Structure 1
C-alpha cells in the first residue's frame, strides 16, 4: 500500500503496466472490411479506431499535467507508463486509419477535422473536467474489453488476424492500466462530493463523445458501401450495437456509483493469459492470433506451456 495524497485512503499498489512497442503493419492487401460477412461490425471497429489519434493524445496531456501537480512518485510512474502505452496505441491506430482513408474512405478526413477541433476546445476546460473525462473514458474500456474478449469468436471468427491481433492487444493494455486514470483523479480531485459528481459526469461525458464520433465514422463508411439504407444491414448493425450496450452499459453505470473502483472489476482470464504469455515469449515474437481456431486462444500457448 502507498499513502494517497490529499488525505485519501491508501491506494493498493498496482503492477506497473508494460510498454510494448509491437510492429503491427497494415499493408495494401488488408481489406477495410476485414471481418468476412460482417461489414457493419468492421465499420464499427474502424469508427472506434478513427477516434484514437485525437482522444489518446488528449488523455496523455491531461495525465501528465495532473501527475506533475500531485507530485506523488508512485502515481507519477504509473502515469508515465500509462502515457507510453497510450502513445503506442494511437500511433498504430493512425497507421491503420491512414490505410482506411487511402484505400476506400477519404471522407473520414472531414470527421477527423471535427475531432481535432473538439479536442482543442476540450483542452481549454478546467483541469478537473479534463481528468474526469479521462478517468470516465477509461472506465468504458473495461466494458469494451469484456465485449471483444468474451465474444471474440462470434465477432472475429476468420477475420484478418493482423487487425484482430492489433485490436485485442489494445484491449489487453487497457485492462492492464485500468486503475491509473482513476487513481490519479482520486488523488487530485476525489476528496469532495463535487469531485465525485464531476467524476460521475466524466464517465458519460468521455464515453458518449467518443461513441458519437465513432458513430459518425461508421455511418460514413456504411454510406460509402451503399449499406446504410438497406434494412438488413441496419438490422445487423442494430444487433451489434445491442451487444455492445449489453456489455458496456453495466460498466458505465457501476463506474458512476459512489465508492466504485476499477479494482472491483474482474479481469478476463484471456487477458491475464495474454500478459503472462507475452512476458515469457521472445521479445521479437509478433502476437498474431489464430482467428480460424474455434477458441481464438492467446497467441503464446508455447510460451505459457514452457513457463508452467
Structure 2
C-alpha cells in the first residue's frame, strides 16, 4: 500500500513502553500552560474510561451475529489496553509530583465508571460507539494543528498523544460496527455520542482545574482567557466532525484518514522491536519519522 492512501492498514497492536522521566515538567508545552493541563486532565481519565470500553466490547462481541467483527474487536481491546497502561504510567508521575490530589478525581472516576457498568449493554455499547466516534474529530484537529499544539513541547508526551490518535484512527470502525450489528437504532447512538463526550469532558475539567489551582492560575484572568480560547478552539475544530457523525447515514469508514496518520504507521513499521517512536517536536512540521530511545 502506498503512503497517502485514504485507507489505513489493518489494526496493529504496538506494545510501546513510553518512558517518562520522574522529573518531567507537567507543563509539557512550555508555551501553552493551559493546553498542557487540558491534555493532562484527559490523560487522567484514560485508565478508567478505556477499561470500561474494553469490558463493553468484549461483552457485546459474545452477542454479535457477524463473526467477521471478532478480529477488529480483539485489535481494539489490545490497542486500548496499551493506551491506558501508558497513560497510567504518566498519570502516576503527575500524582507523585506536584498534584497528589488528582487521586481524588481518580476516585470519583472509578466510582462513576463502576456505576455505568451496571447500565444495559445497549446503553454501554452506544456510549462506546459515541466516544470512539468523537475521537475522530479530536484526531483530525490534533494532526491538522500539530505544529502549534506540539511544536517545542516535550517529545515523550507529544508522541504518546499522537500515537494514541493514530490507533484511534485504525480502529475507528470497530465500536460503531459492533453497535450497528447488535442494535442499529439511531437515537441511542446519537445520545451515546453526546453523553460520552460530556462525561469525559466533565472529569477532564475537574482535573485541569485542580492543576491550574495548584499552579496559582485558576483565578488569574489572563490564564482563564487563554483556557477559554483553547476550549473554544477545540469545539470549533471537533464540533463539525461530531455533527457529521450524527447524520443517520453516517459511517466512520466514510471519513478519510489524515495523510500524516498513515505516514506515522508506515514509519513505525520500520522500527525495531521495543523501540519508542519519539517525534521530533523541534521541527516545525513535526514529520512522521522518529528519533528512537
Q: TM-score range by the shorter chain?
A: over 0.9
Alignment correspondent of 2:217: 227
Q: State the distance in 2 between where 1:53 and 1:29 align.
A: 22
Alignment correspondent of 2:237: 247
State yes or no: 1:184 paired with 2:184.
no
Q: State the distance in 2 between where 1:187 and 1:15 align.
A: 23
Structure 1 contact 44–215 (Cα < 8 Å) conserved: yes
Deviation of residue 259 (structure 1)?
1.0
Alignment correspondent of 1:172: 166
Alignment correspondent of 1:258: 248
- In the alignment, which of 277, 280, 285 is matched to residue 275 of structure 2? 285
Alignment correspondent of 1:74: 68
CA RMSD across the alignment? 1.4
Task: Note the alpha carbon deviations across 1:224-276, whole angstroms, 9 max, x for none.
Answer: 10001111101111111111101111122111220111112121111010011
Alignment correspondent of 2:4: none
Structure 2 contact 44–204 (Cα < 8 Å) conserved: yes
Task: Note the alpha carbon deviations across 1:109-168, whole angstroms, 9 max, x for none.
Answer: 111111111111111111000000000000111111111111111111111111111110
Deviation of residue 71 (structure 1)?
4.8
Q: State the distance in 1 between where 2:21 and 2:179 align.
A: 39
Could you list the structure 1 runs, at least 4 aligned residues long, displaced by more than 6 angstroms after superposition.
none
* Structure 1 stretch displaced more, 45-54 or 155-164: 155-164
Deviation of residue 103 (structure 1)?
0.7
Q: State the distance in 2 between where 1:131 and 1:156 align.
A: 33
Alignment correspondent of 1:102: 96
Unaligned stretches of 5+ in structure 1? 1-12, 302-308
Q: State the distance in 2 between where 1:63 and 1:171 align.
A: 19
Deviation of residue 300 (structure 1)?
4.7
Could you tell me the TM-score, scaled by structure 2's length? Answer: 0.94
* Structure 1 stretch displaced more, 280-289 or 75-84: 280-289
Q: State the distance in 2 between where 1:62 and 1:238 align.
A: 34
Structure 2 contact 279–290 (Cα < 8 Å) conserved: no
Deviation of residue 277 (structure 1)?
1.4
How many residues align? The count is 285
Alignment correspondent of 1:28: 22
Q: State the distance in 1 between where 2:107 and 2:83 align.
A: 20
